[in-house]
Amino acid sequence: MNERPLLFAANWKMNVAPGEARTFLDRFLSLDKPRVGRTVAFFPPAVSLETTAARLRGHEHYLAGAQDVYWEAKGAYTGATSVALARGAGASAALIGHSERRHIFGETDAETNRKVRAVLDGGLMAMLCVGEKLAERERDETEIVVTRQLRAGLDGVAAGADIVIAYEPVWAIGTGRNATPSDAALVHAAIRRVLVQLGFDRDTRVLYGGSVNAGNVAQLIAEPEIDGVLVGGASLDPDGWAGICGVVGQG
């Protein structure tokens, strides 16, 4: 198991309305036992952020974050959420550059960088997502792609900034196909090398995401290079999610 504190992050994507978030968290918190060395983060849709954050307030080992933000501070940007708005709703973190933002909404590396910097300037933790598409993996370009995304996304970011990296191979997201723990660990080690070259601490956490579920989470986090998981589909049921988070501390 791992030296770095583990982070289990639920990415609810475009699911879970405010009332559902409340019901979910009541159930989840009744099942989950807070554990030293493990944080559980929830990334609800923007409309459910305030409800989620309010329900988690005062619970030291849980946090709420935004799924995306826009870098401008305020103004005429219909549909967008600034860092200050997310923070006002109770967010202490934000996901940036999730593959669905990159590949459905056309977000570029340069845009992820502006967002990462805005998140950090606003005092939140930035969770930068990186990962290769299937064709890139088949061309053996995983490391090249991930390195480019990291270098661009973290350009101008001070070493020591509050960042977490989530490695999510695009071909593994929502497909039921995931990287084997040892494959993922190889990419994680490459990510860590880049982070160290960029001056970041060895303790920067690198999470794995992509079809993580109750059946594979234990093997994934048993890899010393994997510091937690970012989970979509399998985080939508409170009992299932509590089971996944509960893998920490089992013998």
| Catalytic residue ranges | 98, 168
Smallest separation, CB 11 to ligand PGA (Å):
4
**Nearest residue (CB) to ligand PGA, 84 versus 191:** 191
Smallest separation, CB 227 to ligand PGA (Å):
15
**Nearest residue (CB) to ligand PGA, 233 versus 246:** 233
Q: How far apart are CA 53 and CA 135, in angstroms?
A: 38
Residue of closest CB approach to ligand PGA: 232
Q: How far apart are CA 225 and CA 3, in angstroms?
A: 10
**Nearest residue (CB) to ligand PGA, 113 versus 211:** 211
Q: Name the site residues for ligand PGA (rule: CB under 6 A).
A: 11, 168, 173-174, 209-212, 230-234
**51 CB burial (10 A radius; 0-12, 13-18, 19+):** buried
Q: How far apart are CA 157 and CA 188, in angstroms?
A: 20
Smallest separation, CB 216 to ligand PGA (Å):
11
**Nearest residue (CB) to ligand PGA, 122 versus 210:** 210
Smallest separation, CB 212 to ligand PGA (Å):
5
Is residue 64 classed as helix, strand or coil in its secondary structure? strand
What are phi and psi for residue 128, nearest 5 degrees?
Answer: -85, 125
Residues pairing with 41 in the sheet: 9, 63
Q: How far apart are CA 163 and CA 146, in angstroms?
A: 16
